Structure 1
C-alpha cells in the first residue's frame, strides 16, 4: 500500500491574521490615482501612505505606534506639483524617504522623530533628470545614498542622493514603459519588466543586458489576476513569496525551493475588502516574540490595516530557524565604491533580542563644487619657515581643542534630542 509523502517544511502552517480594529489607522484619504505602485511604505519607525491632496501631490507619515483615528489636520509631506506615484524608505536611515511624482521629479525627505506642527514642505534635495512622470523608486540595498528611479521616458537613473549627482543613466535599454525594477541582494544587478513583455537582467555599471531569454519557465503557476496587477513581496530569509492582488482581497503565498517543482503553494489569506495598496515591513521591524515572519499594511479606501503572518510555535524561546541574521540599517559600501565596481553583501544583524531603531540620523547633502577640483592659479610659492611642520605641543593643543568641541557638539545633540522628545510629548498630550 503506497503512502503519500508530505513535504517537510516549517512554513507549511503559516497563517495570516488581520490586526484588531484599534491597531488599524483610520480616516486616511488614500490616493485614487490609477498607478500600479503599492502606495504604501513602512519601516520599523514609520508608516507612509500616498494620499489625496489638492493642488499637488502629498503623502502622510505616521509613527508606527500612532494607531486609531488620524486627525484630519495631521501634517502631510507636500512639495510635488503633481500626484505622488511612488514612495520608498531608505534602508540605511529610518528617517529618510524618497518620493516620485507625475511632475517628473524625485524628492528626498528627512522625517523627524517627533510629530511636526505643520506640513513638511522642504525636501533635503530634489532630483531632476527625467523628462516624463517618475513612477518607480528603489534604494540600493547595500550602498549608502544610492537611489534608483524609473520614469515614463523609459529611462532608469541611478543617483547619489548625498551629492545630488547622476551616477548612471540607462536610457537605451527599454523600448517601452518600464513596469517594475528591483535590485538583487548585493545590488550588483537589476531585474526589470517592461510593457514589451520582456524580463531583463541588467548590469547597470556596464550598461548591459546580461540576460533576457526566459522562454521556458522553471515553474509555472496559474493565477486569477482578473482584478488587476499583482504586487509581489519576497522574503529571502524564509524563501517565501507573497502575491497581493491590487483590487483583490487576498494574499497568496508560496515557498520557493531548490528542487522541483520549485514553487510550493502554502495558503491564501482572504478578507472582505479589496486592497488598494500594500506595505511590507522589513524583517527587523517584526515581533520575534510572537513568531511573526511577515507583516503587511493593507490600504482600504479610508484606512490602513496591518496583517500579520505567523508560524505557530508553542515555545516562548527565540526561534533561531525562523530568524536567520537579516540585513540591518548599516550600509556596506559608499556610493563611489559601488560605482567603481565594488560589491558587498548586506551587513547582517541578529534579531535574538529584538530590534530597536536608532535615534534620528540626519542625511547631509553635499553638492560638489566645481571650483574644488581646479588646480590653484598662479605660481607655486616655495616653502617658507611658516610652512614648517607643526610642533608636538601645537598638535596636542589642537587635538585637545577638537576633543572639547566634539564633546560640546555631542552635548548639544543630546539637548536637542531631549527638547524634541519634550515637544513630542507635549504635542501628543494635546491630541
Structure 2
C-alpha cells in the first residue's frame, strides 16, 4: 500500500483573509491611467494610492490608522503636471516617497507624521533628466538616498536625491522598459524590455553583464525580480498567450531552472517577493485572485501553495515590507488590494496554536537603516541590508527630515564676457551713453556708429570710461 509523500514546509498552509469592511479604506478614486504599475505603495506608517485628479497628477497618502471612509476633500499630494505613473516608499525613511509622471519628471516628497490639512505641493527635490514620461521609480535597497528612474526615452538614470543630481545613466535599452528590480545588496539590477529581452545590468560599470532573449515567448509585457539567492523570477506569456512564470540563473541563461504555465488570462502578472520566507505573490491586473508560491532548492523549485480569491477584480496592489506585519498573529505578509473605489487589506497568515513569538517564521529582516552612503556605493562598495529582530514587533521611528544639499548653479555656470551694463559702477552704462549721444546734435551719424561699435568692445577694456571722451570730438 503506497503512501503519498507530502512536501514538508512551514508555509504549506498559509491562508489569505480580507479584513473587516471597517478596517479598509473607502471612497478612493483610483487612477484610470492605462499603465502597468501597482498604483499603490505601503509601508509601516502610510498607504499611498495614485488617484484621479483634474489639472495634473496626484496621489493620496493616508496614515495606516485612518481607516474607513475617506473625505472627498482630503488633501492630496499634488505637484506633477501630468498623471502620476509610479510611486515608491524609501526603505530607509518611512516619511519619504518618490513619484514619477507623464510630465517627464520624478519628485521626492517628505510626508509629515500628522494628517495633512491642505494639499502638499512642494516636493523636496524635482529630478529632471528624462525627455519623455517617467514610468518607473525604485529606491536602492541598502544605500542612502539612491533612486533609480526609467522613462519612455529608454533611459535609466540613478540619482543622489541628497544633492538632486544624477550620478550615472544607462541607455542600453532600445525599447520601452517594463520593469526593474534591484538585487539584495544593490550591486546589480535586472530589467525586462519591449524588445523581449531580460537583462542583468551593473550600473556602476554602465554595462549589461548578462541577457536572455525571450525568456517567455509571448509578446505581452514581462516582469522580473531578483530573489534572495541571486536567481531571477519572471512572469510573462507563452506564444499562445498563456500566462507563465519562470526561474532563471543569471550566470547560465540557456535553460530555465523552472518554467510553469498558469492560465489564459490577459492581465499582466505583478510579482511581489518576500525574501525572508522566499515566497512570491502573483497579482494579475483585472484578476480577482492572488496566487502564492514558495521557491526552494529542490525540484520543482517553484512550489504552488494556494490561491486567495475574492469577488471583485483588482486595479493594483501594494505590498507591506516584512517589518510592518503583525507578528502576534503569525501574519507573514499583508497586501493592499485596490478596487475602483476602495483599498482592501489582505492578510497572509500561518496557522499556529501558540501565542509565543515564532522564531522560524520571522528571521531577522531588513531594517530602516541604510548600510552605506551614496559615495561609498558609487565607489564600488556592496553591503547587504542591516537586519533587525521582529521579536518585539516593529515600531516605526519618528519623521527624520531629508535635507537636500544642492550645489549653487552659479558655481558651475561658465564665465561669460562682461557686457557694458555689468562693468564697474563708475562706468557709464549703455542707456546713458545713448542718451548722451542723442542729445549731442553736433555728432555725425558716422561717428555715432563708430562709437557704438567701440562701446560693444568695451568688455575687453574695462579700465576705460566713456565719459572721458570730449563732447567736441566731432
Structure 1 residue 371: Cα displacement: 7.7
Structure 1 residue 373: Cα displacement: 9.8
In 2, are the aligned partners of 1:147 and 1:158 still within 8 Å (CA)?
A: yes
For structure 2, list consecutive stretches of 5 or more residues without a partner in the other structure: 213-252, 414-474
| Match of residue 208 from structure 2 | 209
| Distance of 1:133 and 1:373 partners within structure 2 | 28
Equivalent residue runs for 1:81-96 within 5 Å: 81-96=81-96
Structure 1 residue 207: Cα displacement: 1.1
Task: Indicate which of 398, 406, 429 corresponds to 1:359.
Answer: 398
| Match of residue 270 from structure 1 | 309
Equivalent residue runs for 1:308-323 within 5 Å: 308-323=347-362
Considering only aligned residues, what root-mean-square deviation do their CA atoms show, in Å?
1.3
- Matched position secondary structure for 1:221: strand
Equivalent residue runs for 1:173-322 within 5 Å: 173-213=172-212, 214-322=253-361
| Match of residue 125 from structure 2 | 125
**365-374 or 253-262, larger mean C-alpha shift:** 365-374
| Distance of 2:113 and 2:325 partners within structure 1 | 20
Structure 1 residue 49: Cα displacement: 0.1
Structure 1 residue 210: Cα displacement: 1.1
| Distance of 1:128 and 1:26 partners within structure 2 | 34
In 2, are the aligned partners of 1:225 and 1:245 still within 8 Å (CA)?
A: no
In 2, are the aligned partners of 1:28 and 1:302 still within 8 Å (CA)?
A: yes
**Runs of 4 or more consecutive aligned structure 1 residues displaced over 6 Å after TM superposition:** 370-374
| Distance of 1:116 and 1:205 partners within structure 2 | 39
Structure 1 residue 215: Cα displacement: 4.0
For the structure 1 residues 372 and 152, does the alpha-carbon distance in structure 2 shift closer, same or farther, using more than 3 Å as the test? closer
| Match of residue 7 from structure 1 | 7
**193-202 or 36-45, larger mean C-alpha shift:** 193-202
| Match of residue 467 from structure 2 | none
1:253-297 C-alpha deviation (Å, 9 max, x unpaired): 110001211010000001000000000000000000000000000
| Distance of 2:411 and 2:354 partners within structure 1 | 61
| Distance of 2:347 and 2:83 partners within structure 1 | 30
Structure 1 residue 226: Cα displacement: 2.0
| Distance of 1:154 and 1:224 partners within structure 2 | 31
Equivalent residue runs for 1:68-147 within 5 Å: 68-147=68-147
| Match of residue 397 from structure 1 | none
| Distance of 2:28 and 2:205 partners within structure 1 | 44
- Matched position secondary structure for 1:220: strand
Larger Rg: 2
Count of residues in Structure 1 that have an aligned counterpart in Structure 2: 373
| Distance of 2:2 and 2:116 partners within structure 1 | 67
In 2, are the aligned partners of 1:42 and 1:281 still within 8 Å (CA)?
A: yes
- Matched position secondary structure for 1:338: helix
Equivalent residue runs for 1:327-346 within 5 Å: 327-346=366-385
| Distance of 1:157 and 1:373 partners within structure 2 | 21
Q: TM-score, normalised to structure 2's length?
A: 0.77
| Match of residue 165 from structure 2 | 165
1:39-65 C-alpha deviation (Å, 9 max, x unpaired): 000000000000000000000000000
Structure 1 residue 196: Cα displacement: 1.2
| Match of residue 216 from structure 2 | none
Q: TM-score, normalised to structure 1's length?
A: 0.85
For the structure 1 residues 373 and 99, does the alpha-carbon distance in structure 2 shift closer, same or farther, using more than 3 Å as the test? closer
Structure 1 residue 120: Cα displacement: 0.1
For structure 1, list consecutive stretches of 5 or more residues without a partner in the other structure: 375-431
Greater length-normalized contact order (CA 8 Å, ≥ 6 residues apart): 1
| Distance of 2:164 and 2:179 partners within structure 1 | 23
